[in-house]
Amino acid sequence: MQNVEAQIEALQSQIAAMDKKIPSNKISMIVFSGEMDKVLAAFVIATGAVAMGMDVVMFFTFWGTPILRDKTKKAGGKDTMGKMFGAMLPKGTPDVKLSKMNMGGMGTAMMKSLMKKKNVASLDQMMEMAEEFGVQIFVCEMSMDLMGFKREEMIDYSGLSYCGVATFLEQANDSRIQLFI
């Protein structure tokens, strides 16, 4: 009898351990790219995933980081390199270009007008919806530092915070889907 109880106990702890291994109904995305088409795809997947009942976390790093700058905000106290990067990199969604067929900005302008004509949501609209849906955004602290971005020049987004690689890995480990865009 005692033997059976011990066995049940062992089984219960095994089940508890297995439960921990089952990832949440969550999708983790790394947004590494900074081009309009790629980031738009990331937000279409993010908002779609919420509709499918999933939690969504997006990690912005390297060229994805400038997308989250706010064109209307200014940040002081930058060194020369920071100022250079700040001037050369896109300042938020209005500055982003297509990854292909940009043609000196003409392609991007044409794509934007085509999207409007065909009722396709703009990057700004998608980001607004993502915020409304509770999509969490993490920004890579190392990219911020490297490019000299300050927190006060980033967009107002209710689910935005700053992190390092461990935060992403913890979230990715607990996600059913992981994407690198």
Partner 1 sequence: MSEEIRIEKVMDLKGLPCPMPILKVNKGIKEVEVGQVIEVWSTDPGSLSDFPSWARTRGHEILKTDQNGEVTKFYIKRLV
The binder of partner 1 chosen from 16, 100, 118, 166 (CB under 8 A): 118
Q: Is residue 160 within the footprint of partner 1 (CB under 8 A)?
A: no
| 56, 46 Cβ separation under 8 angstroms | yes
Beta-sheet pairing, 55-60 with 136-140: parallel
User: What's the closest the beta carbon of residue 123 comes to partner 1, in angstroms?
Assistant: 13
How many residues comprise the chain? 181
Residue with Cβ nearer partner 1 (47 or 136): 47
Q: Is residue 3 within the footprint of partner 1 (CB under 8 A)?
A: no
- Give the residue among 60, 90, 81, 89 at the shortest CA–CA distance from 148: 81
Q: Is residue 114 within the footprint of partner 1 (CB under 8 A)?
A: no
Site size toward partner 1, by CB under 8 A = 12
Quote the distance between the C-alpha of residue 129 and its chain's center. Answer: 14
Q: Is residue 179 within the footprint of partner 1 (CB under 8 A)?
A: no
Q: Is residue 120 within the footprint of partner 1 (CB under 8 A)?
A: yes
**CA dist., res. 19 & res. 16, Å (int):** 5
| 31, 181 Cβ separation under 8 angstroms | yes
Place of tokens 């738009």: 40
Binding pattern to partner 1, positions 74-113, x when CB under 8 A?
A: ----------------------------------------
Choose one: 26-34, 41-49, 77-85, 87-95; the region binding partner 1 (CB under 8 A). 41-49
| 90, 60 Cβ separation under 8 angstroms | no
* Residues binding partner 1 (CB under 8 A): 44, 47-48, 50-53, 118-121, 129
